A and B are shown apart, each in its own frame.
Chain A
Amino acid sequence: MPQPTDLLQGTLDLLILRTLALEPMHGWGIAQRIQQASQSVFQIGQGSLYPALHRLEYKGWIQADWKASENNRKAKYYALTRAGEKQLEAEIESWDRLAGAVALVLGQG
């Protein structure tokens, strides 16, 4: 198993928004999904996940609702808002630019 990489500053927001773009999810689900999708390269320190979720909620990019979970417990589900969708697009675009630029510098463009 490869060593988990430290999350780049600010990337966590992008990952959360992207994950929520698929469907509304609770915190644990988001952490699992990111870990799976990144093939365990990203391991979200859950301690930082919740502050990030709350920050995004305060910014109005996601909104939270208490719903019954798959095993019938009350869980807080986060969903992307209209503003969040726009923000996701903008962040993906800027990430692409960044990644492209890094690749260019590394001579792999």
Chain B
Amino acid sequence: MLHEFLTRLRFLIAGRSHGEVDEEVAFHLDQQVEANIRTGMSPQEARRQAAIAFGGVERAREQCREEQPGYWLETFVQDVRYALRGFRHNPAFSSTVVLTLMLGIGSTTAVFSVVDRILFRALPYGDSNRLVSVGLVAPIEPQEFMLGGSYYQWQDHQEPFAAMTSEIGVEPCDLTESNPARLDCARVEANFLPTLGVSPVIGRNFTANEDRPNGPRAALISYGLWLSRFRLDSGVIGSLMRIDGHATEIVGVLPKDFEMPRLQAADVMLPQALDAAAERRADPGHPMWAFARLKPGVSIEQAKAELGPLFDYSLRLAPAPFRKEVHLQVRSLRDRQVHEVRLAAWILFGLVMAVLLIACANVTSLLLARGASRERELAVRSALGASRMRLLRQALTEAFTLSAAGAVAGCLFAMLLLRLFVAMAPDGMPFLSKARIDPRILTFALATSLLCAVFFGLLPAMRKAGAEELTGRTRTSMRQAPLRRWLVIAQIAGSMVLLAGGALLARSFWNIEKQSLGLNAENIVTAAISLGQTSYPTPESQMAFYQRLERNLRYGPGIPACAISDSLPPGGFHRDTIYAALRVEGRPALASGTGGTVAWRWVTPEYFRALQIPVVQGQGFTQEELTSNDRFVVLSKSLAGRIFPRQNPLGQHLHLAGGAPAANDPAYTVVGVAADVKNGGLGAGEEPEYYRLRRQRAEDWDRSSVLILKTTLPPATTEAWIRSQVASLDPTVPVEVRTLSERVGKMADRPRFEMLLVAFFACTGLTLAIIGLYGVISFFVVQRTREIGVRMAVGASRADILRLVLANALRLILPGVFLGLVLAFTLSRVLSSLLFNVAPHDPAAFAGVTCLLILVALLASLIPGGAATRVNPTVALRCD
């Protein structure tokens, strides 16, 4: 093998002169002539017979050359040069092809670089396929979680995992040094990093001792923090930083690509330092999130089955109403991370594949058209001795050259597009901002372009021109017409599917924007504040801060109403409880089940007036109640209707913490019923809700609050004024000031982004399909110039000719639209979870895009149609 390779290499480099073969053949012929003369032939006859016996000298020489190593390279270079020359002669054709491919390959690549991160790429952990997320799911928390009360039991007695670990969440913490900063601190178990298969870039992991209550304080810092605060200085290991007032030793730095399994942003990682013994006794214990590494050979299903007994143990700890609604969940870490975006990712991928197919169909169609006009050339080359393989190879080389140019342009386009995506994308799409064009993505782009080339190169190349084309009687053949027609029909069908998806999402977005929120977000400025643990350690100090701030703000310029809450409608964070926890005094508790979730908020009396939420019954909270020892509650209309059907809820006493000991479950007096307000986010339903009055008592307050100010001034003025007021009280407190309209607008970002993306691809697909249709109809007109001339000569009017062309176009458009409708009808079901108040088979959306598509397609055919009516019969008939 090696010997052969070296020999070939030698000939490849050294080559072989053509003369050598000629000399060899000449010698052969001379020998034969001599031999023939010896048998008694005349010299002429001898030479003639020798030549006959040898056969075609030129053919032999050509074959010898084909045997030579490097022959393919030589012909390849020749083919490429030939292809490039051809493209240069026809710049309109080649630029159309390259642009089409750029759109197709570019959008596919950009989308793949986003989707790849979600669906395919390995997570940044060692052997990440064996990592799972383990826990309980309940109606109140559909993502699996664990409770300290049973976690340690699970950790000790589980069988299917090699290791099991937990984190207890990420919370804001303060770096209290000369240059203070608010950071995100993750709290994890000591075996967290080893279980994930991650080791610090420098330094070490926590020791078990540091993970005990009151153990030595240690911290791992993120790569980002190491870079921004310590300039990658490795001397940082062993140094101290003050976190929430405590001197903490930096023991290690996390890897650059590290991310928390639940994708929270974290700057610092601290040991959770839970008291395991106390947790075991606690009920329900600290909420936590558990992750585990499967033992080799154990599947997720097996693991789930083996955890059965432990799950039963946890069920016995759960309060009775929960038991039926709590389930065990074990799933791969990737599923845990992408459960929301997986569907969107696949839909996006499907859309972009449709665009790519349309682009490829377009290029195929263009190449077929070009092939038709080059039939004579091919026939001549074939007659001059080019083999079928040779012509096929030439055609494929052309296709590959085109697709290579398309791939280069496509990659550039993808980079641009990706930047656009990232700029447009709302926050909270962690996968998008990390998408990059890297070698892996480039490989994908290359593979895509190769596939395209095979797709659109092979079809036209399969044909070989016969001798009849040499006659040149027909300028253009009609033979590939059926194939091109089918391609156009497929393109129209594809763009129909894209358009239908776009229209559905657009209608859904319209509904989201136009829905009634149940409140008036105009002229509301909000300020979210979270007080630091060290400066404000007690509820008293926290209450004092907020009350002072409220007093200062209330008497500011142009503030007709000012309220404090702990959360804001119409979406995002709010407190939750279960319906079963609510109990009317004098009535038994709900017999079984949780009854679903109920949202609730802490509010001050002016909350309803500021947000213009009508209080439909009673008078809501009053200033006098602020100082009362009693407790008061306002119910939402839907909750009041559910608890007190056909009764007057006012004055009733309600317990809100069912299941808790009587001392912790005081009675609340219902003082009002407020109209329902959107509270589950823009695209989701509404939960019943109640409001608790935040009195002037420390027990009603905690670290975080949102101030809600109605303003009559321009929001920017009020925003600046709020900032100055907060700063005058305490300049170190971070405050997030925004108008409520901005917050609501941000919630619509995601559906808007989805709609824009789909609309973009729909437009791209439509444009490509229209170009394809235009090409076929133009071709049809050119082909039939003579026929049109004859028709006009015998008296057809221009309208007749136009009708002829348009009828032909309709024969492509209508089947395409019909096919597309059928496809879109079957596929649109996939979208249903992304749609808000729109049926996946919404007739208006489907009718609209059908009309649009037919209209645009007819307009595109009018251009060649117009050209057809201007055919001059005398010229047309003379042209052959």
Q: Does B60 contact A (CB under 8 A)?
A: yes
Task: Report whether B27 and A48 are in contact in the complex, using a CB–CB cutoff of 8 Å.
Answer: no
Q: Are A50 and B60 in touch, CB under 8 angstroms?
A: yes
If A26-B27, A58-B8 touch, whether A45 touches B64 (CB-CB below 8 Å) is no
Overall SS of chain A's interface: helix
**Cβ of B6: which chain A residues have Cβ within 8 Å of it?**
60
> Is the C-beta of A99 less than 8 angstroms from some C-beta in chain B?
no
Please indicate the chain B residues that have their CB under 8 angstroms from the CB of A74 in the complex.
23, 27
Contact flag A27-B28 (CB < 8 Å), given A51-B60, A58-B7: yes
A33 within 8 A of B: no
Which residues on the B side are within 8 Å of A69 (C-beta)? 27
What residue in chain B is nearest A45 (Cβ atoms)?
Answer: B55
**A28-B28 CB under 8 A given contacts A47-B63, A54-B68, A58-B68:** yes
Residues of the B chain whose Cβ atoms lie less than 8 Å from the Cβ of A73 = 27, 30
- The smallest C-beta distance from B675 to any residue of chain A, in angstroms, reads 89
Closest-by-CB residue of B relative to A27 is B28
- Chain B CB within 8 A of A83 CB: yes
Q: How far is the CA of A73 from the CA of B29 in the complex (A)?
A: 13
Q: Is B24 on the interface with A (CB-CB < 8 A)?
A: yes
- Interface hub of B3, B11, B24, B27 (most chain A Cβ within 10 A): B24
CB-CB < 8 A to B21: which residues of A? Answer: 50
Rounded to whole angstroms, the CA-CA distance of A77 and B227 in the bound complex is: 73
* A39 close to chain B: CB less than 8 A: no
Q: Nearest Cβ in chain B — how far from A83, in angstroms?
A: 5
Judge whether A76 is part of the interface by a CB distance below 8 angstroms.
Answer: yes
B59 pairs with A47, CB closer than 8 A: yes
Instruction: Select one of A32, A59, A75 contacting B7, CB under 8 A.
Output: A59
Inside 8 A of A57's CB, which chain B residues have their CB? 7, 11
Q: Given contacts A26-B27, A54-B67, is CB(A60)–CB(B4) below 8 Å?
A: yes
Assess whether A46 is in contact with B60, with CB atoms less than 8 Å apart.
Answer: yes
Are B8's CB and A51's CB within 8 A? no
Within 8 A of B (CB), among A38-86: 45-48, 50-51, 54-55, 57-60, 69, 71, 73-76, 83
C-alpha gap A75/B221 in the complex (Å): 81
Residues of B625-681 at the interface with A, using a CB-CB cut-off of 8 Å, are none
Residues of B within 8 A of A60 (CB): 3-4, 6-8
Measured between beta carbons, the chain B residues less than 8 angstroms from A27 are 24, 27-28
For A60, the closest partner residue in chain B by CB is B7
A46 engages B67 (CB within 8 Å): no
Q: Is A28 touching B63 in the complex (CB atoms < 8 A)?
A: no
Central interface residue in A58, A71, A74, by most chain B CB within 10 Å = A58
A28 and B6 alpha carbons, distance in the complex (Å): 28
Number of interface residues, chain B, beta carbon within 8 A: 30
Partner of B27, one of A54, A58, A59, A76: A76
For A75, the chain B residues whose CB sits under 8 A away are 24, 27
Is there contact, CB below 8 Å, between A28 and B31?
Answer: yes
In the complex, residue of chain A having the shortest beta-carbon distance to the beta carbon of B62: A51
Least Cβ–Cβ distance between B6 and chain A, in angstroms: 7
Let me know if B56 is at the binding interface, CB within 8 A. yes
Bound Cα distance from A76 to B23, whole angstroms: 9
- Interfacial chain B residues near A83, Cβ < 8 Å: 3-4
Neighbouring A residues of B69 by C-beta, 8 Å: 58
Tell me, in angstroms, the Cα distance from A76 to B27 when the chains sit together: 9
The interface residues of chain B lying within 8 Å CB-to-CB of A59 are: 4, 7-8
Give the docked Cα–Cα distance between A99 and B667 (Å).
Answer: 104
Q: Does B82 contact A (CB under 8 A)?
A: no
**B3-38: contact bitstring with A at CB < 8 Å (1 yes, 0 no)?**
110111001000000001101110110111011000
Are the C-beta atoms of A76 and B8 separated by less than 8 Å? Answer: no
CA distance in complex: A45, B57 (Å): 11
**B510 contacts the other chain (CB 8 A):** no
How far apart sit A45 and B30, CA to CA, in the bound complex (Å)? Answer: 16
> Whole-angstrom distance from the CB of A94 to the nearest CB of chain B?
18
Rounded to whole Å, the gap between the CB of A77 and the closest CB of chain B is 11
| Interchain CB contact under 8 A, A76 and B24 | yes
Mark B37-61 against chain A: 1 for CB-CB distance below 8 A, else 0. 0000000000000000111100110
> What is the distance, in angstroms, from A49's C-beta to the closest C-beta of chain B?
8
Shortest distance between the CB of A70 and any CB in chain B (Å)? 10
In whole Å, how far is A27's beta carbon from the nearest beta carbon of chain B? 5
Using a CB–CB distance below 8 Å, which chain A residues touch chain B? 26-28, 31-32, 45-48, 50-51, 54-55, 57-60, 69, 71, 73-76, 83
14 residue pairs of the A-B complex, CB under 8 angstroms, read A26-B28, A27-B24, A27-B27, A46-B60, A47-B59, A54-B67, A55-B67, A58-B8, A73-B27, A74-B23, A75-B24, A76-B23, A76-B24, A76-B27
A28-B31, A58-B67, A71-B34 known; 7 other A-B pairs, CB under 8 Å? A47-B63, A50-B60, A74-B27, A75-B24, A76-B20, A76-B27, A83-B4
| 9 tightest A-B CB contacts, nearest first | A47-B55, A60-B7, A51-B63, A28-B31, A47-B60, A46-B54, A54-B67, A55-B67, A28-B28
